[in-house]
Amino acid sequence: MASFTLQNDTLRLTFDRATGALVGLVAVQTGWKILSRPHLGLSFRLLVPLTGDDPLDIAFAERMGRVTGERRNNPVYGEKQALTALDLAPDGKSATFIWDGVTSEIGGPLSIKITLVVTLTERQARYAMTVENRSRHVIENVYCPYLGDVQHPDDEAWFKTFSYSYATAQEWPLWPTYNNMRGYYGVDHPIQISNSSHTVGAPMAPFMLLRGEKQGLYAGVCSPSAELVAWNTELRPGYGSAIDHRVPENATIGGLDVATRFAAIHVPYIQPGETRALTPIALQAYQGGWQQGTDIYTAWRDTWMQPAAQPAWAREPHSWLQLHINSPEDELRLPFRDLPQVAEQCARHGIRAIQLVGWNDGGQDQGNPSHDPDPRLGTFEELRAAIAKCHALGVKIVLFAKFTWADRATKRFREDLHRLAIKDPYGDYYHYQGYQYQTATQLLDINTKRLIPMCFLSEEYLRVCDEEFRKTVELGAAGILFDECLHHSPALLCFDPSHGHRSGAAVYANDRQLIHGFDRISRPSNPDFLFAGEACYDWEMDAYQLSYHRSENKKHIPLSRYMLPEALFMTAVTGFDDRNMVNQCLLYRYVISYEPYNFKGLPEDYPLTLAYGKQMDALRTELREYFWDGEFRDTVGATVLALPNAEGRMQDAEFQRASFSTHPSEARVHHPYAVFISRKTGKPGVVIANYDEKQSVTVTIKDLTGFGDLSGLRYRLVDAPAWRSTAGGIALPPMSAAVVVE
């Protein structure tokens, strides 16, 4: 097999000259053979459904003895296509592959021209494909790049994927076990493609890592395009042992090659006669953990995205209360006129903002997209007056808002807004299951309000949103928190061209433009209007100034915080002695959202949590140079080790991250901890927490970047004002946290 090679500082790529398939891929710095079996090499893959009415298709099928008619699953396998042309740049840094005409598996020859340019930068291999569709059919899917046999590094104990999901990361094992993410009935081989539409790929999750503990392969978009790119892996031929999801141990099983495929799947719906340039994809080998892989993405993103500027009041250390006052089942908990009484309680405890939920007509998740105040709670003027009184007390009112959905049960939707809903390929609108509240009838899902995702690509619907948003500005609110701004589930594409867009257009394309439009509306009367959203995906943070999420997990990975060290992120604190969630807020610089009774109570309803939260906020205000204004580095820059306890047993075994290894000494890496770097002095501060509810732990810091001699370090606990030397170890009682500074 004739081949050629391209190489930069991180990758060596070998291609087949006849087919263009990538038959070898090596991490230059470590020697990791990512692809090592040439006969499993792949190049691209298309899905080109047949309509069944093309005479050429019918004639070809008859010649081949095949059944004619409509055939959806008509793939084109790139490794079976002969190259029409191959152009290698003289400097050896790029190659252009051309396939002028392809042959599909069912429909035979198709007049489709594919041009793939692989360009090497100093550290990346960038794939840019253009597809010219001269056939009568729609090209729905394009796999590119397409890797046929991804091998784990030889010296790793595990291998898995890593990608963004709801402010944290989703990690799926690739080896020695493999998680199938789709129904067994729908695929031939175990497959991983996100089962949640808001984490399926770019722009929501713009990169993926295929990684072991010490190194990995980065794949990410390298254009700020809103076009859908899904990340996909596939285990062939299947499990060795299905009962434990184990990957076969040898290179073959039953005479079949064992291989893990990886693809970036574009879903462009290229129409007949249309030429489309797909979102380019970058590959790069790296060394280190998920942080070093993520650094590749953020370095690129920072070349074009500027995070939204925050209002001055929100830049100060502070906390919030989330308060729900009505639902579709009609609790009617608080009349608008009594809202200042809640603000008085918040002011007493230093809580600076209230997110008010269920204030709109019908309550939370009913009546969408209406943002009229519920008349049973009071008038528009009563709510506006109450908001003004709260602001006078120093407590901001941020109104819960929702524009993604329309309530299917409303007259407005049935008679009018249904036109502007996102449509599937059959012309029907998508359904979202909705949410259940309070009564057994609704908790049994009998009378749930179903929600319909609306098309932000429709200028008419954007005008509807503008009019509804103006109501929040006229009420004098300090801001909105756009619930579920992160997705349009279950919709990814809209096929209704009457909205003014192409068929199969990506529905995430105007997510940021919507908020920029809101800003133009609010800015004349309130330039400090706060735009907050739920678990904003990374690119949305050029429009939103704060992102709220829920992170009740001892193994929570602070991916959004790491990607945007200066952004405002807020998390729910719901427990009645919720020290660990308060500690998590200190660890990851999250704003506390106090939410007793699942955001249906008041701060003083849980005095233990409130008291500890106030102590934590006071501490990070005192040391804001590190733990509020400093640069968050997660665990990069220090190692924290758990020391043996009095009985000589290892501590903290339960809460290790899977990516941490046992050190050669008698100590073991402790979780969780976080490093912050002062922007004034460049010196680090460290937060260390003990999540265990019963056991104390003693830890020590090793290899703190910026310090050779660690003897000058001191620490104190959140709820103990005395400073102590770290020389004898840092003693952490159960459910406690310490800050460590020079």
Confidence of residue 647 (pLDDT cuts 50, 70, 90): very low
The DSSP H or E segment spanning 674 is strand 673-677
Taking the C-alpha atoms of residue 677 and residue 63, their distance in angstroms, rounded to an integer, is 70
Q: Give me the pLDDT at residue 330, please.
A: 93
End-to-end, the C-alpha distance of the chain in Å comes to 62
Q: pLDDT (tens digit, 9 = 90+) per residue, 428-458?
A: 999 999 999 999 999 999 999 999 999 999 9
355 is a domain residue: yes
Shared domain for 360 and 211, answered yes or no, is no
Number of domains in the chain: 3
Residue from 177, 141, 182 nearest 158 by CA: 177
Shared domain for 23 and 105, answered yes or no, is yes
Taking the C-alpha atoms of residue 292 and residue 6, their distance in angstroms, rounded to an integer, is 24
Q: pLDDT (tens digit, 9 = 90+) per residue, 330-388?
A: 999 999 999 999 999 999 999 999 999 999 999 999 999 999 999 999 999 999 999 99
220 is a domain residue: yes
Shared domain for 348 and 279, answered yes or no, is no
Q: pLDDT (tens digit, 9 = 90+) per residue, 549-573?
A: 999 999 999 999 999 999 999 999 9
**In this structure, what CATH number is given to the domain that contains residue 240?**
2.70.98
Q: Give me the pLDDT at residue 70, please.
A: 81
Find residue 119's DSSP bridge partners: 94, 126
Contact 449, 328 (CB under 8 A): yes
Say what the alpha-carbon torsion angle 607, 611, 614, 619 is, to the nearest 10 degrees: -160
Measuring CA to CA, how many Å separate 379 from each of 261, 331, 376? 59, 17, 8
Shared domain for 166 and 251, answered yes or no, is yes
**DSSP 8-state code for residue 712:** G
Q: What is the mean pLDDT of residues 412-427?
A: 97
Contacts of 359 (CB under 8 A, 6+ apart): 325, 326, 336, 373, 374, 377, 383, 399, 400
Domain coverage including residue 695: 631-741
pLDDT at 195 over 80: no
Among 301, 320, 336, give the residue marking a domain's end.
301
Shared domain for 402 and 466, answered yes or no, is yes
pLDDT at 310 over 80: yes
DSSP secondary structure string, 477-509? -SEEEETTTT--TT-SEE--GGGSS-TTEETTT
578 is a domain residue: no
**What's the pTM?**
0.93
Q: pLDDT (tens digit, 9 = 90+) per residue, 252-276?
A: 999 999 999 999 999 999 999 999 9
Among 549, 580, 597, give the residue marking a domain's end.
549
Structure tokens given for 47 = 């899905």
Q: pLDDT (tens digit, 9 = 90+) per residue, 604-625?
A: 999 999 999 999 999 999 999 9
Structure tokens given for 569 = 């992120």
Contact 209, 500 (CB under 8 A): no
**In this structure, what CATH number is given to the domain that contains residue 722?**
2.60.40
Shared domain for 533 and 390, answered yes or no, is yes
445 is a domain residue: no
Shared domain for 169 and 283, answered yes or no, is yes
Find residue 593's DSSP bridge partners: 320, 572
Contact 462, 514 (CB under 8 A): yes
Shared domain for 200 and 338, answered yes or no, is no
168 is a domain residue: yes
Contact 564, 164 (CB under 8 A): no
Structure tokens given for 30 = 């470590």
Measuring CA to CA, how many Å separate 431 from each of 418, 428, 501, 666? 12, 9, 21, 55
Shared domain for 461 and 515, answered yes or no, is yes
Taking the C-alpha atoms of residue 262 and residue 631, their distance in angstroms, rounded to an integer, is 34
